[in-house]
Amino acid sequence: MSPHRLAAGVLLPGFHGTTAPDWLLARLADGLGGVVYFGRNVVDDAQVTALSAQLRAVRADVVIGIDEEGGDVTRLDYGRGSEVPGNHALGAAGDPDLTRAVAASVGARLAACGVSLNLAPSADLVLTLDDPVIGVRSFGSDPMAAGVHVAAYVEGMQAVGVAACAKHFPGHGASTVDSHAALPVLPRTVAELAAVEFVPFRSAVAAGVRSIMTGHLVVPEWGAEPATLNPVAVRVLREQLGFTGAIVTDGLDMKAVGGDLAAGAVRSLVAGADALCLGGEPLDDAGLQWLIDSIVAAVESGTLPLERLAEAARRTAALGVPPARVEAHDASLGSEAARRAVEVRGTLALSGPPVVLDLEVEASIAVGDVPWGLGPYLTELIPGTTVVSARTADEVAAVAAGRTVVVVTREAHRFPFTRDLVSSLAKIGLDLVHVETGVPGPDLGTVARVDTHGGSRVCLRAAAERIAASQRLEQGNQ
């Protein structure tokens, strides 16, 4: 196989549109490895199925990838919120069999849509409440417990024929920097990583995970290069963890790798990566040609051995095998899992229709602009509910006029405005219910707190159901 075709075979770009542009189809015919779908490519399942069929009509073994983590990170349900809870909710539910079943259900849906690779699950741990990018994408903070759920997720996903991808090795959970925006340096020794962060990845390998994504994360003992570009990270995966599948890069357009896409592509291949995710910014035909030419030039100069490129192309191609059969997916599982994840602290007892204040904050790039908020669900379940957009404690108190206030946050502890407003509302003596949709932080003095462990559609609905049930219970006791 020619160096040009091998170079094309390791690339997984994004693109614009809900149908494939002609240049992309031509590139697939010339050996392009595959694509990664984003929210901009999705209308509904039927459209995605048709898009995948369009791609596979050109080449049956094209890699079709997607970030369908469930919960806060969804592509298939980008316009309305995921029908399943994310990892943190599944971890809170504490049932690996449920995690396996949810993953199999998501996988069955992806298989029906023609997807061969799901860039999930996140095998990262919650090791600091200041992490801006992982949060509820993680199964939790306990390495062993998280590892059990990671393995269950991998098993469920791959049982229906869709390759799973454990990410972001060596583990993003101790970082306080979003690698979409800058380069995180992990405050961890290699010994600490091996004892803690590596544990869920070892579980993924033991479960037979077909791919692992390296993160743009610097481990000081490994040198100044992030894991994506660092041969030491690859050696650890191959030699210490025993991983033999495809190593997938995180998006090479991210600020953490310096913004030079071609240089990042070559350096990651030299380091030992296989499939190159080119990131959320879509490329055009000229951009792909530039990358292919850069990789070929590296081969011709001796920087990148041809054998290394051929190995990477072979491992990438293995991720393009379409599922042999398509199972029916169980949409009800997500609601069940979300309900089991809800935790209530304090006394939750509504005496009448509440006032709802959704304190939305800007989501991370990984999450994107997915619908969020409890107001619509409580309005549906409790007639007379009032949704307000007040920004001060006095404004909220004036509207409440003695009614229960339900204030909804996403990791209130990370955002001074939301943290301070919730605390102020509690201090003025309102009957206040705090619904936290992110990783739970410190108590802010409210009468009750409802932790959903995620902000997906089903998590918000489950919280609304629990709150509505407390009103019925209170009325029954009167």
User: What residues are annotated to the active site?
Assistant: 180, 250
Are the C-beta atoms of residues 199 and 143 closer than 8 Å to each other?
A: yes
Give 174's contacts (C-beta < 8 A, 6+ positions apart): 125, 127, 128, 131, 186, 187, 188, 197
DSSP-based three-state secondary structure for 344 = strand
Token code pair at residue 365: 């790039």
CA atoms within 13 A on the CB side of 459: 36
- What angle is formed at CA 83 by the lines to CA 88 and CA 55, rounded to 5 degrees? 110
Contact 366, 172 (CB under 8 A): no
State both tokens at 16: 């614009």
Amino acid sitting at position 174: A
Do 68 and 84 form a contact (C-beta atoms < 8 A)? no
Q: Helix, strand, coil: what percent of the chain each, to 5?
A: 45, 10, 45
Instruction: Sort residue 108 into left (φ over 0), alpha (ψ -120 to 50) or beta.
Output: alpha
Yes or no: say if 451 and 439 are a contact pair by the CB < 8 Å rule: no
Do 83 and 77 contact (CB within 8 A), yes or no? yes
- Calculate the CA dihedral of residues 291, 295, 298, 299 and round it to 10 degrees: -160
355-358/343-346 β-pairing: unpaired
> Exposed (0-12), middle (13-18) or buried (19+): which is 96, by Cβ within 10 Å?
buried
Go through 403-428 and write b for each residue having 16 or more CB atoms within 10 A of its CB, e for each that does not.
bbbbbbbbbbbbbeebbebbbbbbee
Would you give the distance in Å from CA 343 to the centre of its chain? 22
Give the largest Cα separation in the chain, rounded.
82
* Nearest CA-CA partner of 129 in 427, 463, 346, 419: 419
The span from the CA of 452 to the CA of 48, in Å, is 30
Distances 21 to 16, 75, 85, 268 between C-alpha atoms, Å: 8, 20, 33, 28
Q: How far apart are CA 147 and CA 201, in angstroms?
A: 7
